[in-house]
Amino acid sequence: MSDARLRRVNKEIADCKNDKASSVTIDLIDNSPFHLKGSFTGPEGTPYEGGHFEVDIVIPESYPFQPVKMKFITKVYHPNVSSASGAICLDILKDAWSPVLTLKSTLISLQSLLCSPEPNDPQDAEVAKHYMTSKTSFEETARYWTMIYAGGPGKEGLKGSPGLRDEVAMAGLEKAHVDKFEALGFDRSKVIDVLRRLNYRGANVPKINDDRIVEELLK
């Protein structure tokens, strides 16, 4: 079984290396051809533009009859990618897999997934809610994550050391909202956590009253 798998993977790696025009690269992580690292640039005209995204690739035993396993190494703020684990919700990685797909074509599909989020079939429900509530605010956050984690543009403009990041922007919240509840004596990181979970953004803000938030903060 693994002979055919090895033959196929080697061909795919070589094919990707030979395609100089492709924006996708595949590298070995350790010495195994069955554990690889894919990378591509964030698509233009999206909040991911200018970022460099890395993907962990595991070739299963019965590849290419079973789908390749992929998850983001680079943290991505996207409805179909878990912001915690990098797990990806994409049909071709599951029941729509076909052996005609290759590592290269699958990575290109991930790149297109960044262009066209599917918030109705989310991997990260909180991010999906953010996207549905305010696309502008979502895009700002996604752009911020691209800058912090994927080396996207704007990093030079950051004050202080590169390690210092704005937790409020990371969570896609507004500073004024966080300040308001912090002023009531709650821990800042707890406030950020609660407001993020409650999706305290855009049109949702007037719908969630302060008592509800305080109640959550006291839990």
Partner 1 sequence: MSESDLPPQPPRLKSADLPDIEGTDHDFENSVGPDHNTGVAPPGWVITEPTDISTLPPSSLFDLTQPVMDESAFFEEDTQRPLISLLEPMTVLRTEYENGNQVFVKQIDWLIDRGWVGIRRTRGDGDCFYRSLAYAYISSLLPQSSRSQPQQQQDDTSIINVTKAISYLESTSALLESVGFQKLVFEDFLDLFVGVLKGLISPSAGEGGRVRAKLVEEFNVAEVSNSIVMYLRLLTSAEIRSNPDNYEPFLFHPETGEQMNTRDFCEGFVEACGKEADHVQITALTKALKVDIKVAYLDGRIRSPSSSSPSSHLADVDFVEFVNDEGIEAGDKGKGKAVDGEGIILLYRPGHYDILERRLED
Tell me the closest approach of the beta carbon of residue 92 to partner 1, in angstroms.
Answer: 8
Q: Report the distance separating Cα 98 and Cα 208, nearest Å.
A: 45
**Which is closer to partner 1, CB of 72 or CB of 97?**
97
- The question of whether 89 is a catalytic residue gets the answer yes
The 8-class DSSP code of residue 211 comes to: H
**Which is closer to partner 1, CB of 12 or CB of 124?**
12
Tell me the closest approach of the beta carbon of residue 15 to partner 1, in angstroms.
Answer: 6
For 58, list phi and psi in degrees, rounded to 5.
-120, 125
**Which is closer to partner 1, CB of 74 or CB of 102?**
102
In degrees, rounded to 5, the angle at the alpha carbon of residue 115 between the alpha carbons of residues 109 and 117 is 90
Paired strand residues for 72: 55
Tell me the closest approach of the beta carbon of residue 207 to partner 1, in angstroms.
Answer: 34
**Which is closer to partner 1, CB of 10 or CB of 85?**
10
Q: Which residues bind partner 1 (CB under 8 A)?
A: 1, 4, 7-8, 11-12, 15, 62, 64-65, 95-102
Tell me the closest approach of the beta carbon of residue 88 to partner 1, in angstroms.
Answer: 18
Closest CA to 94 of 115, 123, 73: 123
Q: Report the distance separating Cα 155 and Cα 166, nearest Å.
A: 12
**Which is closer to partner 1, CB of 91 or CB of 166?**
91
Tell me the closest approach of the beta carbon of residue 201 to partner 1, in angstroms.
Answer: 34
Residue 142 CA: distances (Å) to CA of 24, 62, 81, 115, 137: 21, 36, 12, 12, 9
- Length of the chain as a residue count: 219
Q: Report the distance separating Cα 72 and Cα 67, nearest Å.
A: 16
Residue of 89, 114, 127, 178 marked active site: 89
Q: Report the distance separating Cα 34 and Cα 8, nearest Å.
A: 11
Q: Which residues are identified as catalytic?
A: 89
